[in-house]
Amino acid sequence: MTDEQNYYPEGAELDEQIQKRHRGGTFWRTLFQASTIIGILALTALLYNIINETFGTVAVQNRVEPDKLILDLAEDRILNAPNTDSSENDNILVDSLDDDPYGISFFGYAYYTENSDRLKLLQVDGVEATAENVANGLYPLSRFLYMYTTEEVLLENQAASIYLNYLLTNINREIGEIGYFPVSDSTLSASQIAWVQNSGFDLQPGQWATISPAGLEGNVNIAGSSTVFPVADAFADLIAAEGFAANVDVQSVGSTAGFRAFCVDETADIATASRPIQPGEYQTCRDNFLRPIELRIGIDALAVVVSEENDFLTDITPDELALIFTTAENWSDVNPAWPDQPINRYIPGADSGTLDFFVETIFPAELETLSRETLIQILQANITVGRGRNLERQQRFFADGFAFDDPDLFNEACAGEDPPTGCTRRVRDLENVYALVNQEIVQPDVMQAWTLVESIFNQEEIAAITAEEYPYAELEFRSWLTPEFLVTPQSSTPEFAGVRTAILGSLWVVAITILFSSRWGSRRRFTWKSMRLRTG
């Protein structure tokens, strides 16, 4: 029996004991190291979290598209140009133009074909408006005609579904008769695929089957563009001749009203339009749980026409058109070779989609390229006078005039006892006005934001979600920490929020704390080295 107290192992037993103690030592040592690493890991996780949330992809959607602002402005200039007659009735335009050698006009191609004996069609950029040029997209003044429906309508209203099937089968054969141009084969098959995917018929995308409309009953309500009306109406007659017994009701109320009937009132099964659905309209539809399906059914071309008596014009460029319908007074202002005679403009009215379309094609411009004055005009047209005055009181737009206020009123305010800052600060520069347009009118909203890691690894999913949920939003990579973030004051909209005021407040508190705790409270002399910030 060995005495526990005095027993000392020897030889192999000693070696084993030493090794055991070393193993234990290694185990604990690793544990201690692991603890240290945990602390550092926590710090890493914290930094990762901060960086992950600071950067990332965002889906940005504008409240108002910048393009629309420019178009509104251009439309305004066209309507207010001298010697301009506008009418919603295209026949009046044709009659007025007929015997005016210095007149010029534009309207739907269908009206030109009706009056081709009295009018002269101009080539645009050297391209004549023929079916081939239009379908190829060579003729610049052409636009698609649309029909919109939803999956629910296609599944539940069989009459509407079959009507569209019949229309998509025969459209390219019939549309020439109606006065429009057929779409290219690929565009037509894209529309057919959209129908196949949503109609519930047992077809693969790419397959197309004509379903006999004979004997089908029900109601088809179509509302929308006056431009598409002849198409929808003609097909109502054509399909009825095939034995289609359903009641087809086609209303010509304008594209915008059509979308309202389709998305808001839900009284229309099919909306027709001479322009694509706008982001705002699409969002309204989505808010009502509808997902519009777009079908392109034809192409309308604008005819730029002059009188038969006009002998100096055969071809015209978009730039010349822009001048002719806005600032130029005489033909010679545009081209010295042309006569020194005033231009007589005959244009469709402000409510017609035709004018919108003309403006859209002729005046392509980027918001960034506009001058300060133009941007101020856009501001004047789009924000309330009250808001404008408010902005102007903060900082002026013009040194010698006033954008939103009666000059007398403003002078009075500046002469008062406590003049607003706008009286003394320098006028807003281009950058400032551009930012204002962006902030006050365009209002880019972040619809959804993703973290950095998601942005890197789930790009496809993000793109899919955006396409599905916010089709008019654009994806961009954003750093939420920007120089502006540091210098702008707080705001209730995250996109424009900054921390300047918060930073100043913190600095103020830090300064007071230094004053009390380090300078007087501590026996040590205050140095920057000795200063340690403790938060908590």
Partner 1 sequence: MATQNPATGITGTTVPAENLTKKTRIGESIIQGILFICGAISILTTVGIVYILGTESLNFFTRTNWSDTNKRVIVDTSAATTVLETAESGSPVAVGDTIRLQDEIMLITAIDGTLVSVTRGLEGTEIKEHRAGITLERASQVNPLDLITSTNWTPQLGNFGMWPLILATIMTSLIAMFVALPVGLATAIYLSEYASDKARSTLKPILEVLAGIPTVVYGYFALTFMTPLLRNIFGDQTVSIFNTASAGIVVGILIIPLVTSMSEDALHAVPDSLRQAAYGLGATKLETSLRIVVPAALSGITAAFVVAISRAVGETMVVAIAAGSGPKNFTLGEDSLFSYILNPFESAETMTGHIVRISGGDLSYDSIDYNSIFAIGLVLFLMTLSLNVMSRRIVEKYREVYE
Q: Binding residues for partner 1, per CB under 8 A?
A: 21-22, 24-25, 28-29, 31-36, 38-40, 42-43, 45-46, 49-50, 53, 520-521, 523, 533-536
Task: Count Cβ atoms within 10 A of the Cβ of residue 190 and give its class: 0-12 exposed, 13-18 middle, 19 or more buried.
Answer: middle
Smallest gap from Cβ 536 to partner 1, in A, equals 6
Nearer to partner 1, 385 or 509 (CB): 509
Closest to partner 1 by CB, 312 or 508: 508
Q: How far is the CB of 500 from partner 1 (least distance, A)?
A: 18
CB of 470 to partner 1, least distance (A): 23
Q: What is the nearest approach in angstroms of partner 1 to the Cβ of residue 32?
A: 4
Which residue type, as a one-letter code, is found at position 499? Answer: V
Helix then strand then coil, in percent of the chain rounded to 5, is 50, 15, 35
State which residue, 53 or 287, has the beta carbon closest to partner 1. Answer: 53
What's 160-228 look like in SS3?
A: HHHHHHHHHHHHHHHHHHHCCECCCHHHHHHHHHHHHHHHCCCCCECECCCCCCCCCCCEEEEEECCCC
Other Cβ atoms within 10 Å of 192 Cβ, number: 21
Asked if 164 contacts 149 with a C-beta cutoff of 8 angstroms, the reply is yes
Q: How far is the CB of 3 from partner 1 (least distance, A)?
A: 19
- Of 423 and 449, nearer to partner 1 (C-beta) is 449
CB of 22 to partner 1, least distance (A): 7
Least distance from C-beta 465 to partner 1, angstroms?
19
Using N-to-C axis directions, what is the helix angle for 185-199 and 158-178, rounded to 10°?
Answer: 170
Nearer to partner 1 by Cβ, of 13 and 406: the residue is 13
Nearer Cβ to partner 1 (8/289): 8
Nearer to partner 1, 45 or 481 (CB): 45
How is residue 442 annotated by DSSP? I
Measured CA to CA, the distance from residue 279 to residue 474 in angstroms comes to 12
- Which of 176, 148, 167 minimizes the C-alpha distance to 233? 167
With CA atoms as reference, report the closest residue to 224 among 236, 232, 212, 234. Answer: 232
User: Is the C-alpha dihedral spanning 144, 147, 151, 155 positive or negative?
Assistant: negative
